[in-house]
Amino acid sequence: MATAAEPGRRLRTACDRCYRLKERCTRLSIAHSCARCDRLDLSCATVRPQRPAGRRPHRSPGDHRRDSGRSSSQAGTNEAADVSPNPPPLDIGAWLRGVPHLRREEREKLLFFLGRPENLDCCVVSPNFRDAEQRSLAAPLATALPVLKDAYLACAGALKLIQPPHPPVHAAELEVEVEVSDEDVNLRHALAAMTTLRALPVATPQDAALCLTLGVSLALFVYSAIGQGVYEISRHCLSVAKPFVEMDTLDSDAEQWLTFLVLFEMTDCLVHRRRPTIRLPAQGRLSGGSAVDRHLGLCAPLLSFYHDLCVVSHSLANTTDASYMALIEEQLGRIQADVQAWQPSQPDRFVERFDTAEVVHLLAQARLYRLAALLVGHRLRCAFGEQDGQADIWATEIMTELELARRITGRSTRCVTLPFVAAAIEMRDPAARVKALRDTDEYVDQFTPVVQRATKTFLSRVWRDRDRKLTASWFDSTCKPCVVLASIDKALFG
Residue 296 confidence (pLDDT): 94
Q: Categorize the per-residue pLDDT at 227 as very low, low, confident or very high, splitting at 50, 70 and 90.
A: confident
- With a cut of 50, say whether residue 488 has pLDDT above it: no
Residue range 358-410, pLDDT digits in tens? 999 999 999 999 999 999 999 999 999 999 999 999 999 999 999 999 999 99
Q: Categorize the per-residue pLDDT at 61 as very low, low, confident or very high, splitting at 50, 70 and 90.
A: very low
Q: Categorize the per-residue pLDDT at 12 as very low, low, confident or very high, splitting at 50, 70 and 90.
A: low
Assign 23 to helix, strand or coil: coil
Length of the chain: 494
- With a cut of 60, say whether residue 172 has pLDDT above it: no
How far are the Cα atoms of 27, 257, 311, 319, 476 from residue 326, in angstroms, in the given order?
Answer: 62, 37, 15, 11, 21
Residue 174 confidence (pLDDT): 41
Cα distance between residue 132 and residue 134, in whole Å: 5
pTM of the model: 0.77
Q: Categorize the per-residue pLDDT at 99 as very low, low, confident or very high, splitting at 50, 70 and 90.
A: confident
Residue 475 confidence (pLDDT): 85
Domain boundaries, the chain: 1-47, 95-493
Residue 177 confidence (pLDDT): 42
Residue 37 confidence (pLDDT): 77
Q: Categorize the per-residue pLDDT at 90 as very low, low, confident or very high, splitting at 50, 70 and 90.
A: low
Residue 208 confidence (pLDDT): 96
Residue range 115-166, pLDDT digits in tens? 988 888 888 999 889 999 999 999 999 899 999 999 999 999 999 988 765 5
Query: 458: number of CA atoms within 13 Å, CB side?
Result: 22
CB 151 within 8 A of CB 221: yes
Cα distance between residue 286 and residue 280, in whole Å: 7
- With a cut of 60, say whether residue 448 has pLDDT above it: yes
CB 218 within 8 A of CB 176: no
- With a cut of 80, say whether residue 444 has pLDDT above it: yes
- With a cut of 60, say whether residue 87 has pLDDT above it: no
145: left (phi over 0), alpha (psi -120 to 50) or beta: alpha
Residue of 62 and 348 predicted with greater confidence: 348
**Mapped to the 3 state alphabet, what secondary structure does 293-323 carry?**
ECCCECCHHHHHHHHHHHHHHHHHHCCCCHH
Residue of 169 and 438 predicted with greater confidence: 438
